[in-house]
Amino acid sequence: MQPSPVQTPPSSPRAPGLDLLRAVAIAVVMLYHLSSHGIDVPGPGQHGWMGVDLFFVLSGYLIGWPVLRDLAAGRMPDWAGFAVGRAWRILPAYLAVLALYLAAPAWREAEAMPPVWQFLTFTMNVLPEHVAQGAYSHAWSLCVEEHFYLLFPLVAWLLARRGRMPGVFATSAGAALLFGAGMLLRDWEWRHAIAPHLASGDAARAVDGYVGTIYSPTWTRLDGLLAGVLLAALRAFRPGWWTRVLSHGWVLLGAGLALLVAAAWVDPLGHGGTVLLFPLVALGCACLLLGALSPRTPLGRRALPGVRTLALLAFSLYLTHRQVYAWLDDVAGDLTANAPLAAFVLYNGVSLAVAALLYVAVERPGLRMRPGTPRRLPGALAR
């Protein structure tokens, strides 16, 4: 019997596989941050930072696909609509949480906070002081994404204006150059900002150097976004190849999990880890994304209960959970030591409630303001 042909999954960002990856990404990031509050879940508690890289791969794919799809069809994308849509997607909830940090400093997860202008200009991740100013420090990843939202359409627009549509090979060549440049930059930073402190036995300064010069700056963290863009380019310019790749969904899921497990054994402060860890994680997350989109796997065909809700709340959760955790540290007393399971439920339950409030009050109204968003009748259920 001949296998049934593999159909390309719909482009909707609400595809069940994409929702699952969003939910997994925010869950492991939260568990990673929860470990510093006395609730350490094995695995995510040490390696949940990879959830941010999964978000990067998702963003690269979801932002790259509509832009490259239009270019592949010979159309000029709606750049103004793109910019306005991104602004309404990010800014309302982001600025609301920034206002909360300013209005309630006692609830911050750290006392010191970068100046407001750094948050408003999305530059806090490229300035060295942010390492010691830990409040709202997780906004560094939004800075990386905002820089990507600016640079990727700009590059695509310039190529289109010059009559050079960026096909899959041109996109791959450009991405390869950027991958290589990122590895060279991390190699240089390791030799100058980390190796001297490791040699002198000053682990604390080595970690600070790693966070400030390698982990947070945009120019050293493009690997995941580039991997996502490459997947989008493959789908836009080589749909036949894309269909054949998706036919190996189970192999891709297995490869992605294997690569991430291997990455968990890499020392991020070591020379090899500094240079190669982020590309390794990006490749693993890209394989997971392909496997989750494949109609040959259950992840690409059906939604799991509760996953869509968690995916919808992912951005609001990301913005608020660290502040909620810090607030609960003050009110929960010794609960984490005496009843860790109850503390786990409390910390994450309150985080979900706060994120739901932010989503309903701020994020969802902002999403409805994006160009092309259908207006719903009053009382209609939000999707």
Full pLDDT tens readout for the chain, 383 residues: 333 334 444 445 578 999 999 999 999 999 999 999 989 999 999 999 999 999 999 999 999 999 999 888 888 888 889 999 999 999 999 999 999 999 999 888 988 999 999 999 999 999 877 778 889 999 999 999 999 999 888 888 777 666 555 666 767 777 888 899 999 999 999 999 999 999 999 999 999 999 999 999 999 999 999 999 999 999 999 999 999 999 999 999 999 999 999 999 999 999 999 999 999 999 999 999 999 999 999 988 888 889 999 999 999 999 999 999 999 998 888 888 888 999 999 999 999 999 999 999 999 999 998 876 644 433 333 33
d(CA 25, CA 268): 20
Give exposure, 345-373, as e/b (b: 16+ Cβ within 10 Å): ebbbebbbebbbebbeebbeebbeeeeee
- The whole-angstrom distance between residue 27's C-alpha and the CA centroid of its chain comes to 12
The residue among 86, 52, 68, 64 whose CA lies nearest residue 221 is 52
Beta-carbon neighbour count of residue 120 at 10 Å? 13
Is 6 part of any domain? no
Domain assignment present for 314 = yes
Q: What integer pLDDT is reported at residue 73 of this predicted model?
A: 86
In a domain, 103, yes or no: yes
The answer to whether position 375 is within a domain reads no
CB 142, CB 122: distance < 8 Å: yes
pLDDT at 375: 42
Q: Does residue 330 fall inside a structural domain?
A: yes
Residue 233 CB contacts under 8 Å (≥ 6 apart), including other chains = 64, 68, 166, 167, 168, 171, 172
How far is 58 from 324, CA to CA, in rounded Å? 26
Say how far apart CA 193 and CA 54 lie, in whole Å. 26
Asked if the structure places residue 83 within a domain, the reply is yes
380 domain-assigned: no
Find where tokens 């750290």 sit: 110
Asked, for residue 9, whether it belongs to a domain, the answer is no
Residue 167: predicted pLDDT: 67
pTM over 0.85: yes
* pLDDT for 133: 84
CA angle 19, 22, 23 (to 5 degrees): 85
What is the count of structural domains for the chain? Answer: 1
Dist. CA 169–CA 172, nearest whole Å: 5
Residue 251's domain spans which residues? Answer: 16-368
